[in-house]
Amino acid sequence: METDRSGETAINIIPGTKANGTGKAPVVVSSTKAVEQPKRGVKKGIAICDFLLRLCAIGAAIGATATMGTTDETLPFFTQFLQFQAQYNDIPAFEFFVIANAIVAGYLLLSLPFSIICIIRPYATAPRLLLLIFDTVMTGLTIASASASASIVYLAHYGNPNTNWLAICQQFGDFCRSVSGAVVGSFIAGAILMFIIVLSAFALKRS
């Protein structure tokens, strides 16, 4: 309809002065640009936000991985054959946690160049879609690892009398604290990734 109307306006003007009619075209173009300029700014702002959030998520994921991976507590007492030691690889869920968070941190690092491309070219949809698809998968991975570990941490803290699983945090207090911190870090990374997905959707949306 816009095209139709501008065509009509041009027709009304030309009978009076023909020079004015040809002079009209640049005015129309510049007004279209003026409308697109703030939109471009918004898209660019979203892309910059996306980049900064990615940096935060990298921090959270690397922090969670490092905390979980380096946690190691040896109790001060030991018998002749046994030394009581707790490490992340005693529990499969924590191993999965370390692997998953390392993958997510690696992916986020690799995604930074694509995020920069989105800042430079705010209207490019291909890199943004690619990022969104992988972000969705990585969000799933992060949340899965965090909550799998969270349920084990809960068990370590409180135990479960119905199944005779006893709490181990009375003995391994420091271990439990570090592990809980790592789980929180991973949940933060997951939440940031979810926010990044929503931001990407806003950036993709037709205005």
Spatial separation of the C-alpha atoms in residues 166 and 159, rounded to whole Å? 5
Q: Which of 53, 144, 181, 184 binds a second copy (CB under 8 A)?
A: 144
53 binds a second copy (CB under 8 A): no
> Site for a second copy (CB under 8 A): how many residues?
64
Q: Which of 52, 75, 112, 201 binds a second copy (CB under 8 A)?
A: 201
137 binds a second copy (CB under 8 A): yes
- Shortest Cβ distance from residue 36 to a second copy (Å)? 12
Query: Interface with a second copy by CB under 8 A: which range of 17-25, 59-67, 73-81, 104-112?
Result: 17-25
26 alpha-carbon distance from chain centroid: 42
Q: Please check whether residue 71 is in contact with residue 179, taking contact to mean a CB–CB distance below 8 angstroms.
A: yes
**194's tokens:** 């979810």
Question: From residue 9, how far is each of 3, 21, 35, 127, 180 by CA, in Å?
Answer: 10, 9, 20, 40, 68
What value, to the nearest 5°, has the Cα angle with vertex 66 and ends 60 and 71?
Answer: 130
Q: Which of 46, 58, 146, 192 binds a second copy (CB under 8 A)?
A: 146
Residue 73 forms beta bridges with which residues? 86
Judged by DSSP in three states, 94 sits in helix
42 binds a second copy (CB under 8 A): no
The contact pattern for a second copy, residues 161-180, with x = CB under 8 A and - = no contact, is -xxxxx-x------------
Question: From residue 100, how far is each of 23, 93, 189, 192 by CA, in Å?
Answer: 61, 10, 12, 16
121 binds a second copy (CB under 8 A): no
Judged by DSSP in three states, 161 sits in coil
> For 199, phi and psi rounded to 5 degrees?
-60, -45
- Shortest Cβ distance from residue 164 to a second copy (Å)? 7
| Near a second copy in 91-120, by CB under 8 A | 91-93
- Residue numbers at the binding site for a second copy (CB under 8 A): 1-4, 6-8, 10-11, 14-15, 18, 21-22, 24-26, 28-29, 32, 86, 90-93, 123, 125, 129, 132-133, 136-137, 139-140, 143-152, 154-156, 160, 162-166, 168, 190, 194, 197-198, 200-202, 204-206
